[in-house]
Amino acid sequence: MRTFGINWHTLATAQWWRLITDVLVQGQPGLRWSILIPFLWVGISEWHLGWRRTGTAFFVTDLMCTVPTLVVLHLASAHSTWSLQQATRYDGGSSAAIYGTLAAFCASRRGPNSWIAPALLVQSMVTIWLTNRRLFDVQHLIAIGVGLAIGFVFFREPTEVEVGNEELTEASASAGYSTAS
């Protein structure tokens, strides 16, 4: 964990490679069911979103929940021993990235009841956080929020109008008309 994990000191000393490697190492050896079950969704997400979008969601959601958490812990460490301990502790693991990818997948789905999966995901993680009050649950919530934003904004399926416009553009190009602006 010391070699690949991240904490405030490694972030402040510009060891940027740790932003990638921290998601690839686990805090505890072995596979746990709490990682395996959500990790199944990464495969489903890859099937739906493609490997590029899934990889982007995986690493961006982890980055966006790790860095702000470390910054807040560092700022709070002047007044809190607990924050100081958390800021110096090495962090790693893929759970936040997995939850973020799951959120991106849920948010990218379209249909009459497409709001149900994102709502249930947020509700269940809020319940877990309220029950246990653990720092990594806050990181999971941040990752879910970032994943939802990524899914809603970037990874949505095209509407019928957009598909129709794309087909019209392709037909115009094949007929010899320029589509460049």
Any idea what DSSP says for residue 158? P
112-145 tens-digit pLDDT: 888 898 999 999 999 999 999 898 899 999 999 9
* Straight-line distance from the first to the last Cα atom of the chain, in angstroms, rounded to the nearest whole number: 52
Burial class of residue 98, CB neighbours in 10 A (0-12, 13-18, 19+): buried
Both tokens assigned to 61: 């959601």
Position 156 confidence tier, pLDDT thresholds 50, 70, 90:
low
- Which residues are paired to 6 by β-bridges? 91
Determine the pLDDT at residue 113.
85
In the predicted structure, residue 1 carries a pLDDT above the cut 80: no
In the predicted structure, residue 38 carries a pLDDT above the cut 70: no
Sorted by where each begins, the domain ranges of the chain are: 8-157
Length of the chain: 181
Position 18 confidence tier, pLDDT thresholds 50, 70, 90:
confident
